[in-house]
Structure formats: structure tokens, C-alpha cells
A and B are shown apart, each in its own frame.
Chain A
């Protein structure tokens, strides 16, 4: 059984660092990082990821675009988008793709959200 692998895409290095610390503290999860949307698509192809955490605002592809590509590839795992606020049409698109959103200020929720999505039986 391989370790749970999570893709973290954000153009801000410090945020990637913080998210990594949050997601790996007390878990056996592994984090792979991407510096923007295009990098996220590439990194996702290289790793067998179980979940994706995407910043909505990134140079190149934004979070929803990356989610769209991943779903297009048949990725069915949980996807979480960091965004304080999603425009209605992006929200609709997010629902269509089964993407959840978490505000950046509530970054501590990220671990719980992912855990609930990945392991619904472990409550």
C-alpha cells in the first residue's frame, strides 16, 4: 500500500511550505508541489496522486482549469481549491467538477476536509 500522495499547487513558495507542514504533521501523507497551473498538470501526470490542493489564482492555468484537466484524465479523487471567494460561474463549474473550496484564511480546515474525503470511514 503506497502512501497517500497530495498535489499542492501555489505560486507562493511560503504558502506551499505552510500547506506542506499542515498536511504532513501527524500523517503519513506525501506532498508533491507545483509552482503554477501548468506545473500542476505536469506534476499530476508524474505522480499517482490521491488528492489535489490548488490555488485558484496562479499564473498560467488557474485552479479550476487544472481541476478540469485532472477530471478529464479520469482523476476521481478529492480536489480542493484555495480561494476566499469564487465567482458564481466558477462556483458552478466547481460543483460540476466535484471540487470543494476552502478559504485561505481557513487553511487549518484543509487536513480535515481532505481526510474526510479520502477516508470517509474513519471518522
Chain B
């Protein structure tokens, strides 16, 4: 029904349009008719007024002519000499004059004093009333005036009597009835209306209708404008058109009066023509409007129907494009629009299908992702959605987390900074740290939060990705550690290289001295003319022995250091008799000890230790003590078992070691800063001691002060040592080779 109502809309509009147009046309027609009639009437009135005015002026000129003729006649009479004599002859003359003219009714002669002197026809002059005395230089010529005082209005003409000419001695006055003068004029004018002679005060003096004269009817002259004396007035017989023309010879006006009824009656037939045409035109317009409306309406119906079908979602709606002008354009436009709409709709549907497909794919992808927790957060940063990855990574279901914050999953002892504020500020926020699963296991999570914004830029929520990177982090750390180790190894290699150069320099220097002595000795022993005496020969032999021993010790220690550095030293503990082993070491150190006494104090029986290690450690310490002791000073060696440790001390009576050198003396190629230049060696002995001791997890310390000798204490673990990890405990030892 709604559709129907919508369809009837345009039709009703067109119908209403036709109706309104018709009514407006009719009203316009009627109004036009009225206006036209009014215009016509005004025109006819104007025309009638002109005609009346012309008629009045024409009549006035005729009347003026008549009056003028009478005045001329009177002036002619006045020149008669007999009159100027004012005698009897004057009366006779008047009688003659009266007979000559039949238009004048009465002649009276007055002398200069205004006394009537003579009259014709023959009444006693006394009957006439005296005039005012005549001024000798009154106005020239004859004049006429109306006398309306009596029963019938009369025309009074006066002419001066001059004797001699130019000097007025009397006045000749003539009287005439108005009617004969005017009738001729007024009567023929009856077709165009009434013609009347009117006194200045409006009194009708002469008229075709004598009754008005008798009644003393006053024409409404006051209503006439002075410029064009024509006006509509309320005449004696109803509304009338009045026109007036003044006379020049007489103080009076000719009036023409035409009744409006007469005017309308005469113009009625003429007016019906234009009005009828107008009416016909209006009717034609109305009919044309109706016809056009119907022509418009007819094709609009299918168009409206098409709109309704299109609105209802129907496809392929097309309307007939036949029709006129804009309606056909409209139909074509409708068809184009319908086609465009269908195209657009198809595109939209395709896009929508694509979007749905993408959305579904994305949903499946997000849901299927297990490696990452992909989570949507609401505008407050609380969890809204939960995918399979989220469940797998965190070990928690959606019901646990929706409405909470992801950072709630962080390990309690290591809270994670919520990245949501950073995401709000910068669009993206990141955080990482330990997350805890319900089973208590931890994972190192990388949390990335990206702000989702509406078109207007406001944050509508966040997308969060949480990834378990524990392994990656471990791998990274391992890599970093490996790198660090590499760097350390490289640094060690560089250091080792420096040491090697130093080692070679030291070795060369150290070996050169005994070598030079041996070479010199060999030179001395060369055959020649001069034989050595036995004492000299023994001396040379001793020098060779001594320096060869030095070289041997140097080579031994260099080999020791090299083996320690290369990690090739094998530790093979076995049970040994401690006292015998140490006594053997002291005996082997005879060369280093020279003639010094060694006090050996051993408080232990059999111990399990690597004998070679023990020999190296004790031998080096004894050699070191002897080297830095005065020739007559003794060296004291003690050994005892303390718990799991074998404690060995070597004490000398040398110059002692400053505290700041206690560590330095164990470094490779380093010696106490107080060491006499002549006593300097390679700085290998104590280094070798420490390396050996540390190889089995023991330690070596020194107690000494300047001037008080020194005591070196070595503590070695006893019993079968654990599996040896030789290189790592060396500290400085390189693992390569």
C-alpha cells in the first residue's frame, strides 16, 4: 500500500497541477476581462469626453459668432448721428433700427448721466431704469452680458455713443431673448447629448429642454477642471460626462452633457468582442494544460511503476522511452540510472563477497595461528578476543582473559610495563618479559600492541601480538655468549700473541747469557799455544756446567709454560710417599740452590697426587726461594695434610715482596718491581706454579713484606680428582691446539 501511495503521488501532483493551472487561468482570464473592460470603458469615456469637449467648443464658437454679429450690428447703430443728438430723431432712429433687425427685442438710449432718453419699441423712457452715469472714456466697443434676473434670461448688449469719436456721450443698450440666439445651436446638438448655455454661476440659461431653464437648473461647473474642462458628474439624469467651453463674447459657458448610459449603450457591442476572444483563449489554455498534463501523466505512470519495482529490488527494470521532450529524457535517464545502479550493486555485491571472504580467511588465519597470540583489545586495552595461538602461548582460555589485561600474565616478581599507553601515544608499543602459564611454567614473551584508529583518528581499540620467544631469546643469548667468548678468545689470542713475542724476547735474552758463557768457554778451550792450568780448566768446566744447567732449566720451564698454555698437561694422581718425593725435588734443585741449606719438614705419609705436578710446583718454588736469597741463607720447606688438602710451604730469607706485587709476581714474565736487575729471570717460575695448582683446583698464596723474606703456601686437593677439564681452569690458557 505504501508503494501504491507513492505511485499515486506524481499523478495527483499532475492532476493538481492541471486543476491549479485551470483555476489560475480562469481567474487570470476573469481578471483580464475586467481589466480590459475597464480599460475599454476608460477609453470610451475619454473618447466621449473629447467628443463632448469638441462639441462644446464648436457650439461656443457658433454662439460667439452670433453674439459678435449682434454686437457689430449694435455698434453700427450707435454710430448714427441722430442718436448722439438725444432728440426725437433719436427715438425714430431706434425704431428704424429695431425694424432693421429682428434679433433685438428692445433698444434704449441713455445720455451721459444715465437717464434714458429714448427707447424702442416705444415704451416711455421713464419705464427704463436709469443707468450709472457714463464715463466719457469708458471701454471701447460694444459689450454683451447675460441678465438672468427676470423670468427669462435675456442677452443685454451695450454700445457707447461717441460724439465726437473717442468721447462717450451716452450708451445704447439692446435686449434680446436668449432662445433665438442659442436654440439653433443647442437643438442639433441633442445627438451628442444636451447642449446648454450656462451662466458663470452654473444657472442654465438656454437648453434644448426649456424646463431646466425654467427650473433654474445649475450645471455642476465646479466639478470641471480648469485645464481640460471635462468630468464625470452627477447630472440631472444620473451620471454624465460634462464638457464646457467658455464664450469669448459673453461671460457664459457652453456646456455639453452626455449621460454615461448613452455612452455604454453605444459601446456595449464593441466591448463584447475582445472579452469573448479572451475567454476563448483562457479556455484554450486550460484545455491545453489538461491535455499536456495527461500527456505528461501517461508516461509518468510506467516511470513511477519502474521506480517502485526498482525500489523493491527488481533487476532489469526498464521503461519505454517513447514520449515527449523531457519525459523521454527522464525515461532515458531512468533507464541509465537503473543500469548504473545494477552495475554498482553488482560491484558492491562482489566487493562484499570478497570482503566477507577475506574476513573469513583472516579469521581462519588468526584463529589458526598457534605460534602467536593475536588478540584484540578494546579501547581501554582490555582483552576482547582470543585466538588459538593465544590459548597455546599462554595456556589459558578466552574465558580467563577476556576483560583482563595481557600484562596480568606477567610473572609476579617481574612485572611488565603495559605497552598500551605507548601504543596510544606513538601508535605502537612493545614490551617483553617473563609470562607465567597456569602450570607455573614461564615463557619469555614479546608483546607488541598496535593502536587501531577510526577515520577520525580516535583510538577504537588495539591489536596485540604476544609471541613466545623463549627459545629465540635463549638462542640469542647463546649467540651473544658465543660471540663474547669469541671476542674473549680473540682478545686472549691477541694477548697470547703479545706474550709469545715477549716470551721469545725473554727466552732469547735469557738463553743468550748462558749461551755466551758457554761459547766463550768453548773459545778458551780451543787448542792453542797457551795451555790452561788445571785450576783454570776446572773453572771453565764449572762455567759450562752451570750455564748449561741454566739453559736446561729455562728450556724446561718454557716447555712447561707451553704445555700449560696449550692445555696438554695430563694430570695422573697416584699414591706417593710425600717425604721421599720432596727430598728428590730438593736434590734436583741443587744447581739452583748452590750451596744453600734446605730444611725439609714433612708431616705426612702417602698422599694421592700427581707426582710430576708436585715436583714442578715444589721445584719452582725452591728455585725461586734460592734465586732471591742471599748465598748463605737457608730455605725452609714444609708439607702436611690438612683435611682434604695437601699444604706445602716454601720460605726464604730474601728481600721480601711488597704487598702491591703479591699478585703481579704470579703473572707470566713478571717479577717483583724490587727484583735486582742482576737477579732477574724470565718470570716463569711462579706462573708455572700457579697454573699447575689451579689445574687441579688448588691455590697458591704468598705472605711477605719487604725485608722479611717470603712464604709461599700451596694447597692441593688430595684424593682421586674428578675428571679433568684441563683447559678451562687454566684461565689464561688457550683452548686451541
Would you call B543 an interface residue if the criterion is a C-beta within 8 Å of the partner chain's C-beta atoms? yes
Instruction: Return A84 CB to nearest CB of chain B, in Å.
Output: 7
Q: Which of B508-563 contact A (CB under 8 A)?
A: 512-513, 516-517, 519-521, 523-524, 526, 528-530, 532, 536, 539-540, 543, 546-547
Given contacts A14-B547, A59-B677, A107 and B520 within 8 Å (CB-CB): yes
Would you call A96 an interface residue if the criterion is a C-beta within 8 Å of the partner chain's C-beta atoms? no
Given contacts A26-B529, A59-B677, A84-B512, A107 and B547 within 8 Å (CB-CB): no
Q: Are A14 and B517 in contact (CB under 8 A)?
A: yes
Point out the residues of chain A lying under 8 angstroms from B536, CB to CB: 21
Instruction: Return A19 CB to nearest CB of chain B, in Å.
Output: 7
Instruction: Return B615 CB to nearest CB of chain A, in Å.
Output: 28
Would you call A17 an interface residue if the criterion is a C-beta within 8 Å of the partner chain's C-beta atoms? yes
Interface string of A38-62 (1 = CB under 8 A from B): 0000000000000000000001000
9 residue pairs from A and B, CB less than 8 Å apart: A11-B677, A14-B547, A15-B520, A18-B517, A18-B521, A21-B532, A22-B524, A59-B678, A104-B519
Q: Are B520 and A18 in contact (CB under 8 A)?
A: yes
Point out the residues of chain A lying under 8 angstroms from B526, CB to CB: 108
Would you call A4 an interface residue if the criterion is a C-beta within 8 Å of the partner chain's C-beta atoms? no
Interface string of B620-642 (1 = CB under 8 A from A): 00000000000000000000000
Given contacts A25-B530, A59-B677, A105 and B543 within 8 Å (CB-CB): no
Q: Are B530 and A26 in contact (CB under 8 A)?
A: yes
| Closest A residue, CB atoms, query B517 | A14
Q: Are A108 and B539 in contact (CB under 8 A)?
A: no
**Looking at chain A, what size class is its interface with the partner chain?**
10 to 19
- Give CA–CA (A99, B516) in the complex, Å: 21
Q: Are B530 and A18 in contact (CB under 8 A)?
A: no
| Closest B residue, CB atoms, query A35 | B678
Q: Are B516 and A12 in contact (CB under 8 A)?
A: yes
Instruction: Return A100 CB to nearest CB of chain B, in Å.
Output: 18
- Give CA–CA (A11, B615) in the complex, Å: 32
- Give CA–CA (A122, B580) in the complex, Å: 64
Q: Which of A14, A22, A26 has the most CB of B within 10 A?
A: A14
Interface string of A59-89 (1 = CB under 8 A from B): 1000000000000000000000000100000
B interface vs A, CB < 8 Å? 512-513, 516-517, 519-521, 523-524, 526, 528-530, 532, 536, 539-540, 543, 546-547, 677-678
Point out the residues of chain A lying under 8 angstroms from B532, CB to CB: 21, 25
A interface vs B, CB < 8 Å? 11-12, 14-15, 17-19, 21-22, 25-26, 59, 84, 104-105, 107-108
Q: Are B513 and A108 in contact (CB under 8 A)?
A: no
Q: Are B523 and A22 in contact (CB under 8 A)?
A: yes
Point out the residues of chain B lying under 8 angstroms from A18, CB to CB: 517, 520-521, 523-524, 540, 543
- Give CA–CA (A57, B520) in the complex, Å: 17
| Closest B residue, CB atoms, query A60 | B677
Given contacts A59-B678, A107-B523, A15 and B516 within 8 Å (CB-CB): yes
Given contacts A14-B517, A21-B536, A108 and B529 within 8 Å (CB-CB): no
Q: Are B516 and A108 in contact (CB under 8 A)?
A: no
Q: Are A21 and B517 in contact (CB under 8 A)?
A: no
Q: Are A21 and B524 in contact (CB under 8 A)?
A: yes
- 7 smallest beta-carbon distances between A and B, as pairs: A18-B520, A108-B523, A26-B530, A104-B516, A59-B677, A25-B530, A107-B520
Q: Are A19 and B677 in contact (CB under 8 A)?
A: no
- Give CA–CA (A15, B520) in the complex, Å: 7
Q: Are B539 and A107 in contact (CB under 8 A)?
A: no
Given contacts A11-B678, A59-B678, A84-B512, A19 and B530 within 8 Å (CB-CB): no
Q: Are B543 and A14 in contact (CB under 8 A)?
A: yes
Point out the residues of chain B lying under 8 angstroms from A19, CB to CB: 520
Point out the residues of chain B lying under 8 angstroms from A11, CB to CB: 677-678
Q: Are B512 and A21 in contact (CB under 8 A)?
A: no
- Give CA–CA (A12, B520) in the complex, Å: 12
Q: Are B523 and A12 in contact (CB under 8 A)?
A: no
Point out the residues of chain B lying under 8 angstroms from A14, CB to CB: 517, 520, 543, 546-547
